[in-house]
Amino acid sequence: MYSYNTLFTLLSLFVILYLSGQRGLQVEGGKTKNGPKKLFVFGDSYCDTGNIKKGIANSWGKPYGVSFPGKPVGRFSDGRVFTDFIAKYLKLKSPIPFSLWKLAPNRLKYGINFAFGGTGAFDTLYGPNLTTQIGSLEKLIKDKVYTASDLNHSLALVSVAGNDYNHYLTTNGSLTGLIPFVVSLVNQTTNDLIRLKGLGVNKVVVDGLQPFGCLPIQTAPFSFQKCNETANQISSLHNNLLIDSVNKLNNQNKDHPSFIILNFFDSFTSVLKNPSKYNIQNPLKPCCVGVSSEYSCGNVGKNNVNKYTLCDDPKKAFFWDIVHPSQAGWHAVFEELKKTEALRQIRHH
């Protein structure tokens, strides 16, 4: 059996050996005033704005959506999610969920959101994986819904925020298998980024992994008071491999580097360390906590009794539920990201 200390040592050693001297993402973009005209979004619940089906997910029930738009619409938050903040930053409307595009063809000009809660780069319990989501865009291109020029003026955002790890840890969980799993996940994610670029998308943006060990699902055993540093090591390994991989891709085309990583690890960490800057209190404790052992928000028991508790003011919470930031949380993360060169890059063609 492996103790957490052993895992920690293995991970640290691996990071040190693997990386020696390859940190930092250098991207020099050709700068024009013409930012992306369309946003195509892929990945998981950090970006899903309503693809996940009613009946499967709590995100279609109360109290989700209570801050925005005032009712549940499938977003895994009390309000806006990451996609909405990126779209606003690009001065675009939040792209329509793929499941609804036929109902609102006039919205296609802003792009499409294919992201689906619960999914990963590999298969998880349900939902279309990244390969399948990208296949849906490929089909729309074949059907001439989008032209080469549309794609050339578009940005793809990919979120791989940890469902693969949850799936791995719950179905396999072997610590010896974990490092190879991180390697294969980053490899698969990189293949997906390359495929998107191959479809003609101008810029491909991927989020780095947030500090996984600070998610309430991990901090619950510590009464939401401290992060699981072992789990955070997984994020660091993942992110360092991803940086390495993306640097290699950009070095192959120095005149027009197309791949950008958003540093979720540092932006989440900055907010969690200095929450008062954003008027956030008790940052590791989610606003909505289930009373059952799974802590999941939104369940309703017999006689319509809520099986969760809600905080007084979601605007003061960083996390909404056990894995997702609140709207205020995403706002704060986005403010931190705005300080990074990577975010400025996404506005340039």
Ligand X SMILES: *[C@@H]1O[C@H](CO)[C@@H](O)[C@H](O)[C@H]1NC(C)=O
Give me the 144-173 binding string for ligand X, x by CB under 6 A, dash otherwise: ----x---x----------------x--x-
Decide if 348 is catalytic.
no
Beta bridge mates, 271: none
* Of 184 and 281, CB closest to ligand X: 184
Mask 179-198, x = binds ligand X (CB under 6 A)? ----xx--xx--x-------
- Figure out which of the listed residues 170, 174, 253, 274 binds ligand X, where binding follows CB under 6 A: 174
The Cα–Cα gap between 217 and 239 comes to: 20
Structure tokens at 34: 């013409």
Set 48, 78, 207, 321: catalytic member? 321
Is residue 281 a contact point for ligand X (CB under 6 A)?
no
Q: Distances from the Cα of 90 to the Cαs of 70, 149, 343, 346, in angstroms?
A: 24, 18, 10, 8
Question: What is d(CA 100, CA 122) in angstroms, rounded to the nearest whole number?
Answer: 24
State which residue, 152 or 281, has the beta carbon closest to ligand X.
152
Instruction: Give the residue closest to ligand X by C-beta.
Output: 177
| Residue 7 or 66 having the CB closest to ligand X | 7
The nearest distance, CB 154 to ligand X, in angstroms, is: 10
User: Minimal distance in Å, beta carbon 220 to ligand X?
Assistant: 8
3-state SS class at 63? coil
The answer to whether 136 is a known catalytic residue is no
Rounded Cα distance, 323 and 284, in Å: 11
- The answer to whether 141 touches 97, Cβ cutoff 8 Å, is no
Q: What character string, x for contact with ligand X (CB under 6 A) and - otherwise, covers 224-263? A: ----x-xx--------------------------------
Site stretch for ligand X (CB under 6 A), options 123-131, 138-146, 268-276, 327-335: 123-131
Report the 10 Å Cβ neighbour count for 316.
17
Helix, strand, coil share (%) of the chain residues, nearest 5:
45, 10, 45
For ligand X, which residue of 42, 85, 122, 330 counts as binding (CB under 6 A)?
122
User: How far apart (Å, rounded) are the C-alpha atoms in residues 326 and 272?
Assistant: 13
Residues in Cβ contact with 273 at an 8 Å cutoff, skipping those fewer than 6 apart: none
CB of 324 to ligand X, least distance (A): 19
- Segment lying near ligand X (by CB under 6 A), choices 47-55, 63-71, 125-133, 237-245: 125-133
CA distances from 287 to 222, 282, 323 (A): 16, 10, 11
- Choose between 15 and 183: whose C-beta lies nearer to ligand X: 183
Task: Check if 223 is active-site.
Answer: no
Which residues, in sequence order, are bridge partners of residue 43? 159
**Beta-carbon contacts of residue 190 (< 8 Å; ≥ 6 apart):** 242, 245, 246, 249
Here the tokens at position 344 are 């400025």
ω into residue 63 within 30 of 0, thus cis? yes
CB of 173 to ligand X, least distance (A): 8
Which active-site residues does the annotation give? 45, 321, 324
Q: Which residues sit at the interface with ligand X, rule CB under 6 A? A: 4, 122-123, 129, 131-132, 148, 152, 169, 172, 174, 176-177, 183-184, 187-188, 191, 221, 228, 230-231, 349
